[in-house]
Structure formats: structure tokens, C-alpha cells
Structure 1
Amino acid sequence: MSLLPESASFEELVQDYFLAMRGSGLMLSALDAELLTSWAEQGVPFEVVARGIARSAEKALWDARPGEPVLRSLRACRKQVEAEIKKHRERSAGAGSEGSRRTARTRSWEELRHAQLQASLERLAEREPGLAPQIHRLMEAVLHEVPTEFARMEAQESLVGLVLLRALPFSERRGLWRSARGEAVDQQYMSFRARRLARRFRLLAVVRRRLGLMDA
């Protein structure tokens, strides 16, 4: 999921992912760096923190004004990230415990996202019959497997979004591309990896908005 090398540290992975979701910036503020250090000291996996950042970015994207970053600070993600950390700890503590079967049976975030995506696609096929053939193929070839990792889930959602984008008329595809580029902010100080991830995030967000995917 991250485009950094495998040797990158937890802090590097989180910073790169956050700046990509934010859409601009070179480094974290002192207060954000302090918060990141506290998460690193807790020993939680990068994917857990990334889930919280992704959820915060998705919620904030629709409220951001043109030219403004989606997320102003890593601290803006704190509530979502710490909620994900809590869920992760509950699942870890409950796994294999006789007295915590209810926790162990709780579906993971990836499983919930997968089910939500399938339900959204089924509704989309009913609303727009012209996309139904592509949706049915995606259901059979891509969504037959429930992802167990955050990276695989992101890859699956990206593939679905790009396939459906290509299925739209050219004029509409062009409009969505322009809309995604128009929402980008100053990225000149971002790494190539972060810029690439930021562009993908915005394009797929525009596509999901157009198709009504992942609506609550």
C-alpha cells in the first residue's frame, strides 16, 4: 500500500501516508510528530494507523474547500486512529480467548469495507444498468475474495474504481479527471511517492462520489 521501501520505519510510513492523504506538505509539525511518536511507542501496526487516517481523509474530503488541504494536521485524525487502535487491541486480546468469543467473532475493518463495497455495487447495478456487466465481472473476478490486509483492500477498491471509471463515457471520464486535478493543492514539496498516492486518492474519491459507492 505504501510506496516507500520495505525498510522504511513506522514513522516514515505514517508520515508519507498522511501527507499523501492531506495532499500537500513536506513534514509533520512538532505537535504532529509528538503524536506520531506516541503511536509508535504503543507498537501498533502501521496498517491500523493508516485505516484511521484514511477514514478521516474520506470524511474530510467533501468539506474541504478548493485549494485547501483535506487534512490540516495529523491531530485531526486522532479520534479515528485511536478508535482503530482500540479495535485492534480488542481483537488481539480476544483472539483465542474462551471468554472473549464475541470479540473474536467481530468482523475486521477490511471485512466490513468489503461487504459495504459489494452492497454499494449491487445498488449501482440497479441504478445504472449500463454498468451492470462490468459490475458482475468485478464481483466474480475481483470481489470473490475478502481481503485480510489493508494493502489488499486498498488495491481491490482501487481496481474496482478504475474499472468503473473506464466503463463511463469518455466525456464523463474526462470531467472526472479534471475534477480530481482541480481538487489537488500545492504538492511541490511532497515526495514523488506521496504525490502519486495523493492523485490516486483524489481520483478514486471523485469516482466513488459520482457512482455513489461506499455511501453510509
Structure 2
Amino acid sequence: MSLLPESASFEELVQDYFLAVRGAGLMLSALDSELLTSWAREGVPFEVVARGISRSAEKALWDARPGEPVLRNLRACRRQVDAEIKKYRSLTAGAGETPAPEAPSRRRKALSWEETRHARLVDALEDLAGREQALAPRVAWLRGTVLASIPGEPAALDAQEALSFLALLRALPFLQRREVWRDALSVGSEQQVMSVRARRLSRRFRVVAAVRRRLGVKEV
């Protein structure tokens, strides 16, 4: 993200994130701004919308031509963002609930949005360890360190996921690491008008997406 103040609004955070992931552009169109306002009214954390944007960008990343923005506009993210908002609301509403007393054997605390995301990430990496034996030790290390606890806020979840895939990248043989880096940096674009922090975010997004693609790890 760019160097926004801590008091930045939801709309400013989302716009900044979208433009960083997109890799180009300075401002949103009137239609995009209207959509952004509607998301702001939903009252969900910024990270929920950011996750939908990143998922949309990841799906479009490999079809983008060199130097071409990954996403044409914010409206291209609407389906994924709305799905994330719906998922967040559903899980948040159910968190902490337990089944009726007459079914004690099935009584279990419902998972929160954060717990669900963490569980899906762990399952995906366990599946990877089963398919790629050479990465099994690194997955086991991640389970005991980076993934040892469930973050209580969305921003920490995003960082946890990124750190996990960057750690897996470092575990790959040199030639494979170099290929992943080339794949990541050969798509999308970065404008000089972007801040250093925005370029860093844009590059990290593409690298993590390239690692997931190389390892065959779908959306988690």
C-alpha cells in the first residue's frame, strides 16, 4: 500500500490496495467509486474486500499481457468481493454458536471467518506435503511456527498466508525458485508513480500467486 495515514478511510484503503495489486492507475472511475461506497456501507473489515480483490487479480494475472494492468477496473472484482463479504457475514454470525442441547455428541463451536481461513490454509499445505515429499519438512516447520496460532484479525491472516508461501518458495531448488521469480515479474506492471510500499505490495502479490501456481495450490 502507499503511505496512507493511520486515519485513512475504508475507501482510501481499498482504492490504494486495488491500484497496488492492479499495478497501474491513479484514481477510480465514477462507477468504481460508487461500487466502493456500497462496500463501505457493508461495514466489513477492509481485509475482507482486499481478499476478494486479490482473488480476482490472481485469476486474471496469467491472462494479462506484458505491461497491461492485471485488472481493468474495480468492477471486475465485484463477484469475488461480494462472495467474500457474504462468507464473512455468514461465518461471523455463526461464530460462537452451538447446536441444540438435545444433540450433545454434535455440539461444537462454530468456526469464525479467521478460523475457517486458517484451517483451509493448513489443509492446503498438508495436501501439498502429501504430493511434494521434498516440501513436507518445510510444511511441518510452518505448522510449528508461522501457522502455530490462529490470528485474531484479518490483516494478520493475510501476512500469515503470504509468509507461508514465501517460505515454501525458499524451500524450492534454485532453478525452480528462479523460474518462479521470472514468472512473477514477467506479468503485470508497476508504474513509477507508485510509492515504494505500493510497488513492494504489488510485487509480493505476484510472487505469492506464482508460488501457488507452481505448487498447484488453489484458492484457500
Does the alignment pair 1:60 with 2:60? Answer: yes
Q: Structure 1 residues 122 and 2, CA, compared in 2 at 3 Å: closer, same or farther?
A: farther
Preserved contact between residue 138 and residue 160 of structure 1 (Cα < 8 Å): yes
How many residues align structurally? 213
Q: Which residue of 2 aligns with 1:134?
A: 138
Q: TM-score, normalised to structure 2's length?
A: 0.82
Q: TM-score, normalised to structure 1's length?
A: 0.84
Does the alignment pair 1:69 with 2:69? Answer: yes
Superimposed CA distance per residue, residues 58-110 of structure 1 (whole angstroms, 9 cap, x where no aligned partner): 2222333443322111111112222333344445555678999xxxx653443
Q: Which residue of 2 aligns with 1:163?
A: 167
1:197 Cα offset (Å): 0.6
- 1:208 maps to which of 198, 202, 212: 212
1:6 Cα offset (Å): 1.7
Aligned residue type for 1:214: K
1:207 Cα offset (Å): 0.8
Preserved contact between residue 117 and residue 214 of structure 1 (Cα < 8 Å): no
Aligned residue type for 2:197: R
Q: Structure 1 residues 139 and 88, CA, compared in 2 at 3 Å: closer, same or farther?
A: closer
Q: Which residue of 1 aligns with 2:189?
A: 185
Does the alignment pair 1:37 with 2:34? Answer: no
- 1:116 maps to which of 112, 120, 127: 120
Aligned residue type for 2:71: L
Q: Which residue of 2 aligns with 1:150?
A: 154
Q: Structure 1 residues 209 and 189, CA, compared in 2 at 3 Å: closer, same or farther?
A: same
Preserved contact between residue 94 and residue 110 of structure 2 (Cα < 8 Å): no
1:183 Cα offset (Å): 0.9
Distance 2:84 2:212 in 1: 23
Q: Structure 1 residues 171 and 56, CA, compared in 2 at 3 Å: closer, same or farther?
A: same
Preserved contact between residue 52 and residue 80 of structure 1 (Cα < 8 Å): yes
1:196 Cα offset (Å): 1.2
Aligned residue type for 2:212: R
Q: Structure 1 residues 161 and 30, CA, compared in 2 at 3 Å: closer, same or farther?
A: same
Superimposed CA distance per residue, residues 28-60 of structure 1 (whole angstroms, 9 cap, x where no aligned partner): 112111221232244333222222212222222
Tell me how large the CA RMSD over aligned residues is: 2.8
Q: Structure 1 residues 108 and 54, CA, compared in 2 at 3 Å: closer, same or farther?
A: farther
Q: Structure 1 residues 39 and 210, CA, compared in 2 at 3 Å: closer, same or farther?
A: same
Q: Which residue of 1 aligns with 2:198?
A: 194
Does the alignment pair 1:22 with 2:22? Answer: yes
SS in 1 for 2:25: coil
Distance 1:133 1:116 in 2: 19
SS in 2 for 1:25: coil
1:114 Cα offset (Å): 2.0
Distance 1:213 1:98 in 2: 32
Distance 1:215 1:28 in 2: 27
1:124 Cα offset (Å): 2.0
1:123 Cα offset (Å): 2.3
